[in-house]
Amino acid sequence: ITCQESKTQVTCWQYDATSEPYKFQVKEELTEVKPIYQGMYIVGGSKSGNLYIWNCQNGNLLAEMFAHNESISSMCPSEDSSLLLTACIGGTAKLWILGDIISSRGEDGASP
């Protein structure tokens, strides 16, 4: 999984070397991207503090939410991908339950 700071695009490669990478556009520049749930999904954090979750197979946006007041500087999923720790440049850290976000998210926000 890659994203370039100057582009609003994420590229996903499958483990199968013969497959073409899947590329999809995102709404804004991302500061962090991480695979979760064994690469089935991608979570991304933005300069504006938004958190995004996409289906890696088709690029569908599954969740979009305001997570921090400042740029997301770091994200770390738990080993089983059930939790996501996010941090912003101001030093605030939040812990999110990913299953709740993916299964019940609209674009209205969730509580850490």
Each residue of 68-101: pLDDT tens digit?
A: 999 999 999 999 989 999 999 999 999 999 888 8
- Would you state the pLDDT for residue 88? 97
Averaged over 15-28, what is the pLDDT?
73
- Would you state the pLDDT for residue 51? 94
CA distances from 68 to 35, 54, 74 (A): 20, 19, 12
- Residue 84's nearest CA partner among 56, 46, 43, 49 is 43
56 or 111: which carries more pLDDT confidence?
56
- Would you state the pLDDT for residue 15? 65
Averaged over 20-39, what is the pLDDT?
81
pLDDT band at 7 (very low <50, low <70, confident <90, very high): low
The helix (H) or strand (E) run that includes residue 103 is helix 98-104
Mean confidence (pLDDT) of the chain: 81
